[in-house]
């Protein structure tokens, strides 16, 4: 969904913010924040509602939400926008500024480009459904068997080739490879682009199982993981533990929204190389890990 305001545009689906015709980078969570505020207007969103929506399966404090709102405001201001944005409802939560909401009423969100027209979809449904009526004499059991065979063959082809495709899809003259584990890879889109621009191949996976499988097959200079995945708030630490148990000594970095001294010690105790909370610190740490002879950044 893309929202057009007077001085900026916000593409929630593709995670893109344009201010003065320039692409502006903001925290990925800010898009979920705006999406929730726009949907709720004219009502406000409570802090608990926003934390549950934005962080979902991860337990966070009010401080995390306040920091996200503050960082978002700063990012807009740094990009040259000083108009209405997010209103703080003291003691409750946040609401979209009234002036922004009025602009939105005058400029409704653009429709999704890949959404088919109703008439076309109806014709497509009929073109598929009508021929099926002509095979009514075929036994249902035979149809079921054919369908299951197609599914099994398709799944087998996917599992056989999905891993190999990761190896060939990399920047030309790649100097290093990074295995990035995150159940929502779009959260790190800007980081992926930065690394690929500097000839570092990024191979995103969404589960610990996929990560361990690839680590058993290929060599990577470093593994980057989020903290919580798929209802497991400690998934990142558990991945590190399993890597070291399997004698996989690939350098490991935890990339998350917040860290503590205790978390840093926990990662180091399991053989990890650190916890990073922002992209610049991540890039600097990668420069230290990737051999100097390879690093061109």
Do both 202 and 250 map to the same domain? yes
Q: Kindly state whether residue 294 falls inside one of the protein's structural domains.
A: no
CATH number for the domain spanning 199: value is: 3.40.50.2300
Q: Kindly state whether residue 113 falls inside one of the protein's structural domains.
A: no
Q: Kindly state whether residue 111 falls inside one of the protein's structural domains.
A: no
Do both 215 and 283 map to the same domain? yes
| Residue numbers of the chain with a pLDDT score lower than 70 | 106-171, 291-297
pLDDT confidence of residue 280: 93
pLDDT 10s digits, 18-53? 998 899 999 999 999 999 999 999 899 999 999 999
Do both 81 and 62 map to the same domain? yes
Q: Kindly state whether residue 215 falls inside one of the protein's structural domains.
A: yes
Q: Kindly state whether residue 159 falls inside one of the protein's structural domains.
A: yes
Q: Kindly state whether residue 58 falls inside one of the protein's structural domains.
A: yes
Do both 217 and 259 map to the same domain? yes
CATH number for the domain spanning 7: value is: 1.10.10.10
pLDDT 10s digits, 249-284? 999 999 998 889 999 999 999 999 999 999 999 999
Question: ∠ CA 246-267-174 to the nearest 5 degrees?
Answer: 70
Sign (positive or negative) of CA dihedral 232, 237, 238, 243 = positive
Q: Kindly state whether residue 296 falls inside one of the protein's structural domains.
A: no
| Structural domain boundaries enclosing 143 | 118-163
Do both 11 and 45 map to the same domain? yes
Number of structural domains in the chain:
3
Q: Kindly state whether residue 157 falls inside one of the protein's structural domains.
A: yes
């Amino acid at each position: 969904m893309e929202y057009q305001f007077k001085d900026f545009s916000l593409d929630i689906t593709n995670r893109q913010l344009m201010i003065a015709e320039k692409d502006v980078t903001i925290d990925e969570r800010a898009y979920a924040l705006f999406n929730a505020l726009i949907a709720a207007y004219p009502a406000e969103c409570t802090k608990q509602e926003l934390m549950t929506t934005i962080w979902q399966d991860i337990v966070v404090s009010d401080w995390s939400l306040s920091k996200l709102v503050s960082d978002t405001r700063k990012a807009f201001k740094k990009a040259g926008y000083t108009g209405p944005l997010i209103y703080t409802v003291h003691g409750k939560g946040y609401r979209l500024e009234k002036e922004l909401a009025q602009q939105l009423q005058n400029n409704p969100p653009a429709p999704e480009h890949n959404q088919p027209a109703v008439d076309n979809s109806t014709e497509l449904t009929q073109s598929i459904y009508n021929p099926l009526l002509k095979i009514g004499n075929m036994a249902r059991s035979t149809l079921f068997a054919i369908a299951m065979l197609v599914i099994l063959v398709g799944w087998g082809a996917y599992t056989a080739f999905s891993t190999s495709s990761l190896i060939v899809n990399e920047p030309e003259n790649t100097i290093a490879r990074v295995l990035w584990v995150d159940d929502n890879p779009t959260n790190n889109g800007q980081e992926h682009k930065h690394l690929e621009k500097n000839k570092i191949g990024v191979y995103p996976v969404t589960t610990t199982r996929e990560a361990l499988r690839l680590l058993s097959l290929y060599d990577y200079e470093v593994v980057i993981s989020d903290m919580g995945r798929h209802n497991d708030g400690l998934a990142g630490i558990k991945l590190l533990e399993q890597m070291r148990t399997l004698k996989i000594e690939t350098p490991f970095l935890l990339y998350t929204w917040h860290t503590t001294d205790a978390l840093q010690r926990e990662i180091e105790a399991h053989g990890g190389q650190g916890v990073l909370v922002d992209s610049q610190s991540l890039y600097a740490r990668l420069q230290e890990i990737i051999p100097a002879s390879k690093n061109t950044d």
